[in-house]
Structure 1
Amino acid sequence: MSRALLLNFSPHGKAARAYRLAAEVLRDWPDIGTVIDRQLGGEPLSALTCDYATAVTSVAGMDNVAIHASERQIVELESSDLLVLCTPLHNFTLPAAMKLWIDQVVRIQRSFGVNSAGEKVGLLKDRPTFVLVSSGGFILGEQARQPDFLTPYLKAILSCIGIQQLTFIYLQGSVRGGEAIERGVMAAREALLRGLAGTVGRRSIAGDEACGSCLA
């Protein structure tokens, strides 16, 4: 049985559509035994401090309480077989709560190292990772009218620590309300089910075709 880590970065907390969708699918998926659920949008992690920076560069850094929060996040990530991130698109990029988590888990000589060429090398094992991105407007397809800096950034930063099996699922156009939201949630659900079927065991999926515009 797989262990899933579900992180929600929405300020709407458990009322967020992407989170509700992910939580429901993971709860019902037969090959997932445990789901660790963290509401980091409503209860964000602390920003990095001078004490943290000192601990990271110190030989005795692990004895410094300033690094303990970072260690807890990394250990929780290490113990997961599947990672699901639910996040809104804020001002073309990731929300502050998500950046705080990234700053805690991307740590030199712990989650990444540096080779002789000066390149960052991930130290964590790769795992299937699904990123559910909610946006009021459109960032993909013919209706896209705004840039998306979240997707390329997450690809780069998660690859830095060793996570490369990324599937992005987009819930777009929520400002249109009503049927547009329902269609977006349905398409995202199909995309998540299809992705899980290919990475975390097999199961029958109702509706054979997921919305291609929801995957990247």
Structure 2
Amino acid sequence: MKILFVNASPHGQMSHGYRLAVEMIRSLGRNMPSALVKRDLVSAPLPPITQDYAKAITSREPDVSRFDVSEQLIREIEMTDALIINTPMHNFTVPAALKLWIDYVLRVHRTFAVTPEGKVGLMRDRPTFVIVGSGSFHSGDRAWQGDFLTPYVRYALQSIGLKTTHFVLLQGLTHGDEAVTDALRRAREEIAQHPLFAHRDTVVS
């Protein structure tokens, strides 16, 4: 199994979501050989979208060299069997680093086609896990703020063909150690129920 791990947390390896992703990767590798491709959007930030890239996207005869970064990111997805994204929720939605990755990955005529019915994904579907870390609560009975991250990321991934997306929510991470422990416990229980992990060792800390 080939796994793509995309990290968008500025806390890197200190992030609870990052550590959970590592647990998931190790769990998948226990019962089958696995290869890992890691894309850290914080320690190795992507270059900004340029005017040349924007022109190439809208040109009928584009300079394909302008797509080098986009092509590399797309191929990283194409070569993998499962995708794990670790991201914080920043101001109700995705951080800038992840938004830039999405902007490069969503490319007309390459990862999606435009039809009268809307955008149709051109990529093969694969299990996708999005670990969302947030200091407060945006889902469930304790929610008190809006969530524009999960619907946006789900829609964006569906637009390129990644329809099997599972969100793992780590909420209330600034509410003390007990809240963190509870969030991780709930997340591990959810992950263990997923078909990809159902017949493997339980994800543990």
**Counterpart in 2 of 1:123?**
122
Distance (whole Å) between structure 2 residues aligned to residue 127 and residue 135 of structure 1: 25
Q: Secondary structure at the match of 1:199?
A: coil
Q: How many residues align?
A: 202
Deviation by residue 1:120-176 (Cα, 9 ceiling, x = unmatched)? 110000111011000000011111110000011011111110011011110000111
Written as runs of structure 1 = structure 2, the 5 A alignment for 1:28-177 is 28-29=27-28, 30-31=31-32, 33-61=34-62, 63-64=64-65, 66-115=66-115, 117=116, 119-177=118-176
Counterpart contact for 1:169–1:188, Cα < 8 Å? yes
Distance (whole Å) between structure 1 residues aligned to residue 170 and residue 33 of structure 2: 24
Question: Is 1:180 the counterpart of 2:179 in the alignment?
Answer: yes
Distance (whole Å) between structure 1 residues aligned to residue 197 and residue 110 of structure 2: 27
Name structure 2 gaps, 5 residues minimum.
Answer: none
Give the superposed CA RMSD: 1.8
Q: Residue type matched to 1:36 in 2?
A: V
Instruction: State percent identity of aligned pairs.
Output: 43
Shift in Å, 1:55? 1.8
* TM-score under structure 1 length normalisation: 0.87
Q: Residue type matched to 1:179 in 2?
A: E
Counterpart contact for 2:4–2:77, Cα < 8 Å? yes
In structure 2, the CA distance between the partners of 1:110 and 1:200, relative to structure 1 (3 Å rule), is farther
Distance (whole Å) between structure 1 residues aligned to residue 125 and residue 138 of structure 2: 27
Counterpart contact for 1:31–1:201, Cα < 8 Å? no
* TM-score under structure 2 length normalisation: 0.92
In structure 2, the CA distance between the partners of 1:101 and 1:32, relative to structure 1 (3 Å rule), is farther
Counterpart contact for 2:92–2:149, Cα < 8 Å? yes
Q: Residue type matched to 1:203 in 2?
A: R
Name structure 1 gaps, 5 residues minimum.
Answer: 208-216
Higher relative contact order (CA 8 A, sep 6+): 2
